[in-house]
């Protein structure tokens, strides 16, 4: 009897999982973690300074006349390198507890592609 009740519940769960992972229409942006990880890295900047913390690398980049701070997962990068990243929303007035530092604006990115200096 219990298995007869459980069977329709399992079928409903399987159907809802399949519906949420179905292909999106052409031109529809990806959402969630997969979309963020696959976003095009259309932005780039020259690394001016780097600050390492546990789990994050804070990267100050120069883009034209503007400087920008990025927060990325731990990444091997140094001043002089070039980084490519996907545009994300800015977080104003961010306080880093681990650095005991305030950032006027910072962009949290899922990943950066590093091009070593001189390449």
Torsion angles phi and psi, residue 74, rounded to 5:
-45, 125
| Cβ atoms of 71 and 108 closer than 8 Å | yes
Q: Is 7 inside any structural domain?
A: yes
For range 29-55, the mean pLDDT: 76
Q: What is the structure's pLDDT at 30?
A: 45
Same domain, 21 and 69: no
Q: What is the structure's pLDDT at 70?
A: 97
Higher-confidence position of 23 and 79 = 79
The domain of 67 spans 40-115
| Cβ atoms of 60 and 105 closer than 8 Å | no
Is the pLDDT reported for residue 23 higher than 80? Answer: no
Q: Is 8 inside any structural domain?
A: yes
Q: What is the domain count for the chain?
A: 2
| Cβ atoms of 101 and 69 closer than 8 Å | no
Same domain, 63 and 107: yes
Is the pLDDT reported for residue 110 higher than 60? Answer: yes
Q: What is the structure's pLDDT at 53?
A: 93
Same domain, 51 and 80: yes
Nearest to 107 by CA among 91, 93, 85: 91
Q: Range with the lowest mean pLDDT among 13-22, 33-42, 59-68, 84-93?
A: 13-22
Same domain, 11 and 46: no
Q: Is 32 inside any structural domain?
A: no
Q: Is 31 inside any structural domain?
A: no
Is the pLDDT reported for residue 15 higher than 80? Answer: no
CATH of the domain at 104: 2.40.50.140
Higher-confidence position of 68 and 18 = 68
- Residue % of the chain over a pLDDT of 70: 67
Count of CA atoms in the C-beta half-sphere (13 A) of 28: 8
| Cβ atoms of 85 and 111 closer than 8 Å | yes
Beta-ladder partners of 47: 61
Q: Is 62 inside any structural domain?
A: yes
What's the mean pLDDT when you consider all of the chain?
Answer: 79
Q: Is 35 inside any structural domain?
A: no
Same domain, 66 and 10: no
């Amino acid at each position: 009897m219990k298995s007869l009740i459980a069977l329709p519940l399992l079928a409903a769960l399987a159907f809802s999982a399949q519906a949420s992972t179905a292909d999106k229409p052409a031109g529809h942006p990806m959402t969630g973690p997969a979309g963020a990880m696959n976003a095009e890295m259309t932005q780039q900047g020259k690394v001016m300074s780097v600050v390492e913390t546990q789990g994050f690398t804070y990267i100050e980049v120069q883009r034209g006349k503007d400087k920008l701070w990025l927060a990325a997962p731990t990444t091997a990068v140094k001043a002089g390198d070039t980084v490519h990243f996907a545009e994300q929303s800015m977080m104003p007035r961010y306080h880093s507890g681990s650095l005991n530092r305030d950032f006027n604006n910072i962009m949290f990115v899922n990943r950066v592609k590093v091009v070593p200096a001189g390449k």
